[in-house]
C-alpha cells in the first residue's frame, strides 16, 4: 500500500517537499484505483529517490478534492516545488500508465537540467 496522507499534512508532505511528489487521489469504492497501485509501486521503485508517491483518499479529503477539482478517480497529479506540473485523469491500460508516468519524470529531469545548465552558463559569463 502507498503511504496515505490527509489534508492536515498535505502542505508539508506535498507542497513543501524537496523532491517531486506524485499524488494518487483514490477512493475505497474505486476498482481502478486499486488496480493501478502495483504500477505506482513500480514507478516509485524505478525512480527511487527522485520522486515520492503518496495516496490521498478523496472521500476523506473533500477539501483537497475540491481544491484540485477532481472530476474522476483515480487522478494522479505530479507536484514539484508546490506547483502542479502534470495531471493524469484518463489512461488506457497499464502500459499507457507506465509510459505516461515515465514521460512525466523524463520531462521533469530535462526541465531541471536545462535550468541548471542555464544558471551555470550565466555564472560563467559573469566571471
d(CA 47, CA 121): 28
Question: What are the residue boundaries of the structural domains of the chain, listed by start?
Answer: 3-126
pLDDT of residue 116 exceeding 70, the answer is no
Tell the residue number behind the cell numbers 555564472, with chain if given. Answer: 123
Do the Cβ atoms of 25 and 68 come closer than 8 Å?
yes
Q: Which of 5, 33, 77, 105 is catalytic?
A: 33
Look up the pTM and report it.
Answer: 0.84
pLDDT of residue 123 exceeding 70, the answer is no
CATH superfamily of 3-126: Glutaredoxin (3.40.30.10)
Helical pair 94-126 and 37-47, crossing angle rounded to 10 deg: 30
What b/e readout covers 54-65, taking b as 16+ CB neighbours within 10 angstroms?
bbbbbeebeebb
Q: Is 113 a catalytic residue?
A: no
Mean pLDDT of the chain: 86
Q: Which of 17, 27, 30, 85 is catalytic?
A: 30
pLDDT of residue 127 exceeding 50, the answer is no
Residue 115's pLDDT band (cuts 50, 70, 90): low
Query: What would the pLDDT profile of 13-60 be if each residue is shown by its tens digit?
Result: 999 999 999 999 999 999 999 999 999 999 999 998 899 999 999 999
Number of residues in the chain: 127
pLDDT of residue 108 exceeding 80, the answer is no
Burial class of residue 95 (count of CB atoms within 10 Å of its CB; 0-12, 13-18, 19+) = exposed
Q: Is 51 a catalytic residue?
A: no
Residue 17, Cα to own-chain centre: how many angstroms?
11
The predicted pLDDT at position 5 comes to 95
Sheet holding 75-80, edge to edge: 3-5, 52-57, 21-26, 75-80, 83-88
The predicted pLDDT at position 73 comes to 95
Amino acid at each position: 500500500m502507498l503511504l496515505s496522507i490527509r489534508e492536515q499534512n498535505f502542505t508539508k508532505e506535498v507542497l513543501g517537499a524537496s523532491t517531486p511528489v506524485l499524488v494518487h487521489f483514490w477512493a475505497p469504492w474505486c476498482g481502478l484505483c486499486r488496480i493501478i497501485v502495483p504500477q505506482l509501486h513500480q514507478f516509485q521503485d524505478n525512480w527511487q529517490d527522485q520522486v515520492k508517491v503518496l495516496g490521498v483518499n478523496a472521500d476523506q479529503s473533500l477539501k483537497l478534492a475540491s481544491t484540485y477539482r477532481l472530476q474522476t478517480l483515480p487522478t494522479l497529479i505530479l507536484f514539484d516545488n508546490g506547483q502542479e506540473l502534470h495531471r493524469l485523469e484518463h489512461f488506457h491500460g497499464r502500459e499507457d500508465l507506465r509510459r505516461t508516468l515515465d514521460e512525466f519524470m523524463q520531462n521533469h529531469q530535462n526541465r531541471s537540467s536545462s535550468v541548471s545548465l542555464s544558471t551555470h552558463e550565466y555564472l560563467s559569463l559573469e566571471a
